[in-house]
Amino acid sequence: LKHKLNPVTLKILVDCSGSMAGPSIEAARNGAMHALDHLHEDERFSVSLFGSSVEDMTQGLQTWRRKNRGSWRRVLTGVDATLGGTELEIAVKHCLTLGREADEKSAKEDAYGDILLITDGQVSDISRLVKALKKAKHRIFAIGVGSAPAESQLAALAKASGGECLLVSPGEDLRVNIERLMARMRAPQVKDMKAILNDTDAVWLSELPSQAAATGAFQLYGLLPNRAWNGHIIVSAMLA
């Protein structure tokens, strides 16, 4: 599928609760910097830290300038796991407000965005967050850092918002995962996906996603007509 890459409005949200101490917070710092390095000139971004409360490192949405990357690297070096507990729902909802202007027209233009969430925390009420994300037209791209991140909760939240969730072990380099998520953010979305066999019918045991990235991958399970079947599966979709 030929497509143009979309610009992003990136909202980086880093878990700085006590449980992130050690290799996890170091990986999160490096991951946040790598995400900034992959912004294009003039794209808009924010950086926020959270634990029991939320601390913004930017005033609303800022415009990315590569000449400032050295300053950001120094600032992020000082980020540590000192913010207490993990109030993830409050932090995500706070990110949704960043960039909103008093003027209604500006609010509509600035409110859209992708949240890059780096955490080892849990989501207590996915349904409330999903409603808030869809209303604000935001997606969650989550990286679960640590030996036991809340995989099912993060994955469910990311999927429901139209994003993606990746898991890493303590101290693991996040750069490849950051690049994968940034590429996914930039990819156009497709909808109305359908899968058919070219010469017969199949019994599908799972459903295609309602919306997916044009460059993404997905799994589809079904029963083929017989073991000797050697036809083609055709997948079609419309650009969202």
Q: Return the structure tokens found at 114.
A: 């992708």
Phi and psi, residue 75, nearest 5°: -65, -45
User: What's the pTM value of the predicted model, to 2 decimals?
Assistant: 0.81
Identify the pLDDT of residue 155: 84
165/152 Cα distance (integer angstroms): 9
86/67 Cα distance (integer angstroms): 33
**pLDDT tens for residues 11-61?**
999 999 998 999 999 999 999 999 999 999 999 999 999 999 999 999 999
> Which stretch of DSSP H or E encloses residue 171?
none
The amino acid at residue 4 is: K
Count of other CB atoms within 10 angstroms of residue 6: 11
131/120 Cα distance (integer angstroms): 22
C-beta separation of 54 from 11 below 8 A: no
Asked if residue 94 has pLDDT above 60, the reply is yes
Asked if residue 102 has pLDDT above 50, the reply is no
Average pLDDT, the chain: 85
Q: Return the structure tokens found at 174.
A: 């996040």
User: How many residues comprise the chain?
Assistant: 240
Which residues in the chain belong to E strands, given as ranges? 9-15, 44-50, 54-56, 62-63, 113-119, 138-145, 164-168, 189-197, 203-204, 211-213, 222-223, 233-239
Location of structure tokens 């993830």 = 88
Identify the pLDDT of residue 42: 95
Q: What is the DSSP string of 1-38?
A: ---PPPP-EEEEEEE-SGGGTTHHHHHHHHHHHHHHHT
186/209 Cα distance (integer angstroms): 18
Higher-pLDDT residue of 58 and 189 is 58
232/240 Cα distance (integer angstroms): 25
Asked if residue 98 has pLDDT above 90, the reply is yes
**What average pLDDT does range 77-89 have in this prediction?**
93
